[in-house]
Structure 1
Amino acid sequence: MSRAGRASPPGGGWRGGGTAVLLAHAVGTQALTFVLRPVMSYRAIELDVPTAWLGVLGAAFAIAPLALAIPAGHGADRYGERRMAVAGAVLFAAASVTFVVAGQSVAGLVLAGVLLGTGHLGCVIAQQALVANTTPRGGYDAAFGRYTFAASLGQAAGPGLIAAFGGGQAIPDTGGVFRWSCLLGVMLLALSAFLPSSPRRSAQDGGGEVGLRALLRLPGLGRALVTSCVVLAALDVTIVYLPALGAERGLASGTVGLLLVVRGVASMVSRFFLGRLSHAVGRRRLLVGSTTGAALGLLLVPLPSPLWVLAALLLVVGFGLGVGQPLTMSWLAEAAPPGLRGRAMSLRLVGNRTGQVLIPSAAGLVAAGLGAAGVLWVTALGLGCVSAAARGLPADRG
């Protein structure tokens, strides 16, 4: 890892007229995802789906994208980010319609979850490849910090919409949320049409298989991918099982939504200052420290505590989880050669999706015996393990 990656100037990163469109697209993508996924859990609760099945619904979000991530990255490299974003937005709209039309059954929820996950994949691959391909070397930490800050803004806004649809009730108006998501999907599609594309550049080793082999030889790749995978899975588990924990404790859905907002805002803060934080302490130390803090916070969340303590713990969890994703993106963007950065981001997403398939499904088995609290404790243990593994990442060279 070069010093450029560590010491990127706080204001470094991409510029241009398309920046506002890119950031708005990131906000819209995450807002739509983070309102639909918790509400999918609430609809499952309405249908009296067993708690163990919530993990299966969470895994549905990642099943198809797991197989499509590498082709999507190759498509972004070959055909451009805009086309990939348009395809993702179309699938987002299709998912919203499926929730409205077929969301009265578990099969319908699974189908909608698959469409939602695939649409999310297309949009985020396009966004991440665009940031990687248009950021000058030395500005990745700050650029991906701003990009993921916008994503966190969407993640915070999405659950906040739950409060507008019966937040004072244990179960919000899921049908109303699904109908409004159709409009949001159309708005995202319109934004996609205005998203810029970077100039196409060929990697020296060119072909897909050769390019992937070059990426897989990067030092520390395995540790970085596992860290990214577990951090994202921890975020997913929080989204899926915090509503279940709240229902067990009798918390109103609006309160749970606000707690998810607190987590999202904390992630926004950590990402907004990511360039400065990375410059001050280095990527590896920042990654290890933030992951450890998130693990400790998540370990304490299930314990009986006043609401303000729970909010404070989720503040710590959100801050810690907010750092892992942009740092691994920045590391990959800097290490990958031009023409392979879309595939580099897709390789990272393959690891993320693998975790999203396996970890929530395993969490469902834990929930069957220990409930939502047990799931959060096991997730905290996983974060502690990857925090220890991240110590073996290549050191920042000064």
Structure 2
Amino acid sequence: MSTPADGGRTGPGRRMLWLLLAHSALTQVVTFVLRPTSAYRALELDVPTAWLGALTASFAVVPLLLAVPSGQATDRFGERRVMLVGAVLLALSAVVFATERGGAAGLVLGSVVLGTGHLLSVVGQQAAVANTAGPGRFDTAFGHYTFAASLGQAIGPALITLVGGSGALPDTRPIFLTATGLGVVLLACTVVLRIPGRARYGGAAEAGGMGTLLRLPGLVRALVISCVVLAAVDITLVYLPALGADRGLAAGVVGLLLTLRAVASMASRFFLGRLVAWVGRRRLMIVSVALSAVSMAAVAAPLPPAALAVLVVLLGLGLGVGQPLTMSWLAEVAPAGLRGRAMSLRLTGNRLGQVLIPSTVGLVAAGVGAAGVLWATAAALGVVGFAARRLAVDGGPGT
């Protein structure tokens, strides 16, 4: 897969690359517009607290059950077809929200459709990157792919204010209509996307299926690293504001800290290929997770805002590396014809981690406040960083 850094001289071509990156960014924009706006709509309707919980969970629960089958469908029918279904569902979810029918149940239905469409789009995208990246280019390809996704996640919430106004509760209908339009653009992008044809893989790949993947040396360790790093990002988004409230920091200062973390993660992803070439994949994995652990532990200490800003940048640099590195490792070690399933397996682990790890850390750190949660998360990062020492990530299977 060519990249902006090499001018698109290799792989399937610059046009496919930019369309795939645009598809990634648009998927996240639509998702990160609709999820918060659906919550605002629920508040407008005064839905019970139980329904708010169902609205949050419905985005993840059904896709969690469909993650592995979606990977199997990607390997069998091709990335573009799965991405096309995902784009249709994302646009349809915006339509469901825009109709404003069904009350709380309608919002939950829209969230289920949104989560399923997001899953299919992401699995197809990741498999496409894995199957089209040239030899030795997985790190750069996945670095740019995750950079585009992060960019979309940053643009989405900004559109809510731009379209819906800056009030405590934005006008949700124009936001939903805008998301519908973006869904149509995403669908058009998918239609014109041409992923180079590939041979259908049979034999051992088809016969072994998930069992072949689960027997790969280091697979479980890599999945655990991925889910802990992603859960650490989620915990930061929730508990850094809580820490700021405990320390009397203004909301604007906390917002700036979260922005710095996100921008730092985007920077580390954009230059991932060069970082791997410089220090090696395994060493970068260990250093990035260790940096995340130390920075998160230090952030929880009582420090002035300027010191917090420096630490949050270091935290973002470390947390930004884990996801694309595990993607590139999986793409390299997974047999041809099983890469869709490999990516779906990683997504399944991530979803479980997002559900289980924050709640577990919260129980362990109960009674010690936001700082205790951050320290417990730092300890979890330290454990997986130690485990990364035995992960063979600098070569193919068995290295």
Q: If the length of structure 1 is used for normalisation, what is the TM-score?
A: 0.82
- Which residues of 2 match residues 124-139 of structure 1 at below 5 A? 124-139=122-137
Partner in structure 1 of residue 213 of structure 2: 215
Distance 1:207 1:67, change over 3 A: farther
Q: Which whole-Å deviations, capped at 9, do the CAs of 1:199-230 have from their partners, x for residues lacking one? A: 23333535656122111111111100111111
Shift of 1:59: 4.3
Q: Which whole-Å deviations, capped at 9, do the CAs of 1:335-359 have from their partners, x for residues lacking one? A: 1122111111111112112212323
The residue identity in structure 1 corresponding to 2:82 is: M
Tell whether the 8 Å contact from 2:205 to 2:338 is kept in structure 1 after alignment. Answer: no
Tell whether the 8 Å contact from 1:234 to 1:379 is kept in structure 2 after alignment. Answer: yes
Tell whether the 8 Å contact from 1:29 to 1:123 is kept in structure 2 after alignment. Answer: yes
- Which residues of 2 match residues 54-203 of structure 1 at below 5 A? 58-100=56-98, 110-164=108-162, 171=168, 173=170, 175=172, 177-203=175-201
- Which residues of 2 match residues 290-369 of structure 1 at below 5 A? 290-301=288-299, 307-362=305-360
Tell whether the 8 Å contact from 2:365 to 2:376 is kept in structure 1 after alignment. Answer: no
Which of residues 377, 390, 395 is equivalent to 1:392? 390
**1: distance between equivalents of 2:43 and 2:299?**
22
The residue identity in structure 1 corresponding to 2:265 is: S
The residue identity in structure 1 corresponding to 2:199 is: R
Shift of 1:18: 1.1
Distance 1:69 1:79, change over 3 A: same
Shift of 1:168: 6.5
Bigger drift between 107-116 and 335-344 goes to 107-116
**1: distance between equivalents of 2:94 and 2:361?**
26
Tell whether the 8 Å contact from 1:38 to 1:239 is kept in structure 2 after alignment. Answer: no
**2: distance between equivalents of 1:371 and 1:49?**
27
The residue identity in structure 2 corresponding to 1:141 is: D
The residue identity in structure 2 corresponding to 1:173 is: P
SS in 2 for 1:62: helix
Instruction: Calculate percent identity across the aligned residue pairs.
Output: 57
Tell whether the 8 Å contact from 1:23 to 1:150 is kept in structure 2 after alignment. Answer: yes
Shift of 1:317: 2.4
The residue identity in structure 2 corresponding to 1:123 is: S
Shift of 1:161: 3.3
SS in 2 for 1:138: coil
The residue identity in structure 2 corresponding to 1:148 is: T
User: Is the aligned partner of 1:262 residue 2:250?
Assistant: no
Distance 1:274 1:218, change over 3 A: same
Partner in structure 2 of residue 21 of structure 1: 19
Partner in structure 1 of residue 279 of structure 2: 281
**1: distance between equivalents of 2:35 and 2:245?**
16
Shift of 1:55: 7.7
Distance 1:138 1:243, change over 3 A: same
Distance 1:36 1:152, change over 3 A: same
**1: distance between equivalents of 2:367 and 2:152?**
34
Bigger drift between 313-322 and 346-355 goes to 313-322
Bigger drift between 69-78 and 37-46 goes to 37-46
User: Is the aligned partner of 1:30 residue 2:20?
Assistant: no
Q: Which whole-Å deviations, capped at 9, do the CAs of 1:41-92 have from their partners, x for residues lacking one? A: 6667775977x99887654432112111111112112212111112112222
Partner in structure 2 of residue 3 of structure 1: none
Q: Which whole-Å deviations, capped at 9, do the CAs of 1:250-297 have from their partners, x for residues lacking one? A: 855x76655443332212210111111111111111111111222333
Shift of 1:26: 1.0
Distance 1:303 1:145, change over 3 A: same
**1: distance between equivalents of 2:202 and 2:99?**
48
Bigger drift between 87-96 and 74-83 goes to 87-96
Distance 1:85 1:173, change over 3 A: same
Shift of 1:394: 1.6
Tell whether the 8 Å contact from 2:71 to 2:344 is kept in structure 1 after alignment. Answer: yes
Tell whether the 8 Å contact from 2:229 to 2:322 is kept in structure 1 after alignment. Answer: yes
**2: distance between equivalents of 1:303 and 1:290?**
20
